[in-house]
Structure 1
């Protein structure tokens, strides 16, 4: 007899369905228990998954259809007992809301032509828990419909610890990891890393036995196959330089959260994605809709801009994603070139929309303002008129021009500045800081003036009300 819990059944069911979506209905799991604990295994095309509970149990081997877990799953750690009742019959018993449940199922037999379950690598390389988040973010930047490039895959570069991904509209490059191999690999598409049931606070171990890459996090071990043939864009050549950016949005952490939580309050455009970012001394997001008579603005009061005034039009989901991923610096080279969000180890690039679609300010705008925050630290976590040839994927090709200006010749890949332009950039940092403080003070002064006007208006209203009450009282006395 094998014992699990209803909550564990729910977790395994969710992860397996997400990892093997095309074969979920026919999936059969192998449950093996013994002194070494409980092992639950499932294998698909070029990928495999294993869950391990190290607590010892009675020695047993069962083949369990996925539908059994669908029946016994629950939100509490109530025990479930699985056993072989008789030849070809699998039994499951548990209690649900105090009522005893006991079901029997046809026990499947292992396929005669089943491939042997993959083995573990000889050694693992341990990474921080950030790797799990990085893999999830990378796969959220892929395009499973792409035919020209292998954009459904992500690239792992063992030589410099890079994870790269793009879907032709956005590009994400993340650094700082160790994989234990030197090759550049393309990993097949998967939704495993998007599973909420994975422990995102545990270290991630990586290994590479033969033709798969193995990821081990907490009780889960995942074998993922590699794409042998496929073209992947040249990521490094495709990331524009930020040295000549026209403006930089300095997004405060409080405003980043406010943006993600409240962006849905702005009206949707014709394609439900247009958003104007207006950096004009203030940081204002603006949107309109044919179905609403007045446009709406979101005023991010804790954020600021460096550089020139600029007004751009962007897909709102990309800006919201940059905010959700914790980027505090978003660079705009001009109104048409891709936007670049960057920090010490990550670079996120996305294509802007037609600058002609950007909305100007109007007096009848509905305004939503983010609340003032005493902390301004970095965040912790219209129709698009263009042809297919203008996508990031095309520009990512080695034979195509880069997305933006080239780096100065004396700038290394690690960002070491030694050119005169870079030295000038360093000397101007104090001026940029002063400009940023000035912008924040101006924003604060504007908010204070608005508050004063509101208070004066309320005082006038109270005086008017008081005079009206006195007049009514006098009329009553006369009567």
Structure 2
């Protein structure tokens, strides 16, 4: 017999659902083991296993339960969930849902084997957890030829690396207890806010790489036969690079504007970055011919002038990671961001995606002086910026609608003329050919 609180079940269910990468299913079953020192719960999805340890005094017992038990009994109170193993591969689970007691029986699934735990653990810098989360966010969601759906941990250089072949994240400075390279699968656990701890440890066995954070242990199956790309070869030297430095006061405003610029739902979400003594961001969606141009008056540019097209998601990602400088060697070469021990590299789009400057573009000034903003709180600044930006967008759309109305009116007049001419010619020919009366003019649809 094992007792858990419904609140505990809800927290455990939430984390076990994040075992795999995005869109992965939850574990089908969980292994519960008790002993005089506590309760251990183990669940696996593919190449990822998580183990939760709850201290306490229990009689020695082991059972495999379907994950549906957690789905059914999770709650927000401290009432008890009682799990009892019956004969003939069955379980009885009892809990209270409001004033009504609930009792349900479940079939016991095939037993789950417990993973052997490592003997030696090595303390690591806590920033490793965030580095793993960012690298796993960068990795490809699908299997590829060069294992870009895995994360690489380099022992000699102390690097955590993730790439999907279009973007690359590297963070260095970790003292791993090995010298070779290790490939591990993606998992959503490292980004889970619930998985907080003031200590992080790592261990390695022949088959798994282990991480211990507080009451949780995460085991990731090592991909020993997979081949990882030589990502460093793709990073251009930055000696002759054009450097774009974003003013700290413009970073948040730019991130907000990128969400509202036209083309946000187009393939690759392209924006053009103009670096020609000043900085301008241009966008135009497939749903509209109107170009919007945002000027960053406080940003700085050093080096050769150039224009390049970029997936705005990469620009947003760089801003979210805290980067403020972009190094561009050539519009067709990878763009490099580096700050401290972190690097973010992304590929621009082709020249055909570059939007040229045009006098008809809707102009938006992003820069705001610190004095003008000092008396406003953050939410007010964001609201004002969004209102001003949206008003400019609406003005441009209204202007385009008026011009389109004139074009449509001319087309309608031309269609009316053609319809009248066809109607004048066709009835006589038809009546002469088949010898019947034609419909009256009132029956003709003028739009056909």
Taking structure 2 as the reference length, what is the TM-score of the superposition? 0.74
Highest relative contact order (Cα 8 Å, sep 6+), 1 or 2? 1
1:149, 1:230 within 8 Å by CA — same for their partners in 2?
Answer: yes
Instruction: Measure, in 1, the Cα distance between the counterparts of 2:299 and 2:307.
Output: 16
Pairing 1:431-442 to 2, within 5 Å after superposition: none
Instruction: Measure, in 2, the Cα distance between the counterparts of 1:283 and 1:178.
Output: 40
Instruction: Measure, in 2, the Cα distance between the counterparts of 1:305 and 1:20.
Output: 42
Given the alignment, which residue of 220, 232, 235 partners 2:231? 235
- Following superposition, the deviation at residue 45 of structure 1 comes to 4.6
- Following superposition, the deviation at residue 274 of structure 1 comes to 0.5
**Deviations, residues 344-369 of structure 1 (Å, cap 9, x unaligned):** 21221111112343222534415262
Instruction: Measure, in 1, the Cα distance between the counterparts of 2:35 and 2:333.
Output: 60
> Which structure 2 segments of 5+ residues have no match?
372-448
- Following superposition, the deviation at residue 304 of structure 1 comes to 2.6
Instruction: Measure, in 2, the Cα distance between the counterparts of 1:48 and 1:253.
Output: 41
Corresponding residue of 1:438: none
Q: Secondary structure at the match of 1:154?
A: strand
- Following superposition, the deviation at residue 20 of structure 1 comes to 4.8
Pairing 1:44-83 to 2, within 5 Å after superposition: 45-57=46-58, 60-74=61-75, 76-83=76-83
- Following superposition, the deviation at residue 146 of structure 1 comes to 4.4
> Would you say how many aligned residue pairs link Structure 1 and Structure 2?
367
Pairing 1:208-287 to 2, within 5 Å after superposition: 208-245=204-241, 247-268=242-263, 270-271=266-267, 273-287=269-283
Corresponding residue of 1:11: 11
Given the alignment, which residue of 140, 144, 167 partners 1:143? 140
Instruction: Measure, in 1, the Cα distance between the counterparts of 2:299 and 2:4.
Output: 50
Given the alignment, which residue of 175, 179, 183 partners 2:176? 179
2:19, 2:49 within 8 Å by CA — same for their partners in 1?
Answer: no
Instruction: Measure, in 2, the Cα distance between the counterparts of 1:198 and 1:294.
Output: 46
Instruction: Measure, in 2, the Cα distance between the counterparts of 1:26 and 1:336.
Output: 43
Instruction: Measure, in 2, the Cα distance between the counterparts of 1:253 and 1:56.
Output: 54
Q: Secondary structure at the match of 1:263?
A: helix
Instruction: Measure, in 1, the Cα distance between the counterparts of 2:25 and 2:134.
Output: 24
Corresponding residue of 2:327: 331
Corresponding residue of 2:404: none
> Which structure 1 segments of 5+ residues have no match?
375-479
- Summarize the Cα distance change of 1:302–1:126 in structure 2 as closer, same or farther, 3 Å threshold: farther
Instruction: Measure, in 2, the Cα distance between the counterparts of 1:227 and 1:90.
Output: 36
Corresponding residue of 1:102: 102
Q: Secondary structure at the match of 1:318?
A: helix
- Summarize the Cα distance change of 1:373–1:130 in structure 2 as closer, same or farther, 3 Å threshold: farther
- Following superposition, the deviation at residue 195 of structure 1 comes to 3.3
Instruction: Measure, in 1, the Cα distance between the counterparts of 2:342 and 2:5.
Output: 40
Pairing 1:337-352 to 2, within 5 Å after superposition: 337-352=333-348
1:72, 1:80 within 8 Å by CA — same for their partners in 2?
Answer: no
Is residue 2:16 matched to residue 1:41? no
- Summarize the Cα distance change of 1:11–1:370 in structure 2 as closer, same or farther, 3 Å threshold: farther
- Summarize the Cα distance change of 1:276–1:123 in structure 2 as closer, same or farther, 3 Å threshold: same
2:235, 2:334 within 8 Å by CA — same for their partners in 1?
Answer: no
Instruction: Measure, in 1, the Cα distance between the counterparts of 2:359 and 2:9.
Output: 56
**Larger of the two Rg values belongs to structure:** 2
339-348 or 9-18, which moves further after superposition?
9-18
- Following superposition, the deviation at residue 321 of structure 1 comes to 0.8
2:16, 2:27 within 8 Å by CA — same for their partners in 1?
Answer: no
Q: Secondary structure at the match of 1:18?
A: coil
Instruction: Measure, in 2, the Cα distance between the counterparts of 1:302 and 1:93.
Output: 63
Instruction: Measure, in 1, the Cα distance between the counterparts of 2:285 and 2:347.
Output: 22
1:256, 1:324 within 8 Å by CA — same for their partners in 2?
Answer: no
Q: Secondary structure at the match of 1:50?
A: strand
Corresponding residue of 1:125: 122
Taking structure 1 as the reference length, what is the TM-score of the superposition? 0.69
Q: How much is the aligned-residue C-alpha RMSD, in angstroms?
A: 2.7
Q: Secondary structure at the match of 1:19?
A: coil
- Following superposition, the deviation at residue 221 of structure 1 comes to 0.4
Is residue 2:168 matched to residue 1:167? no
- Summarize the Cα distance change of 1:301–1:220 in structure 2 as closer, same or farther, 3 Å threshold: farther
Instruction: Measure, in 1, the Cα distance between the counterparts of 2:106 and 2:257.
Output: 50
Instruction: Measure, in 2, the Cα distance between the counterparts of 1:263 and 1:232.
Output: 33
Instruction: Measure, in 2, the Cα distance between the counterparts of 1:368 and 1:38.
Output: 59
**Deviations, residues 97-131 of structure 1 (Å, cap 9, x unaligned):** x43341312241543xx5x4222222212222211
Pairing 1:192-203 to 2, within 5 Å after superposition: 192-199=189-196, 202-203=198-199
1:63, 1:107 within 8 Å by CA — same for their partners in 2?
Answer: no
Corresponding residue of 1:437: none
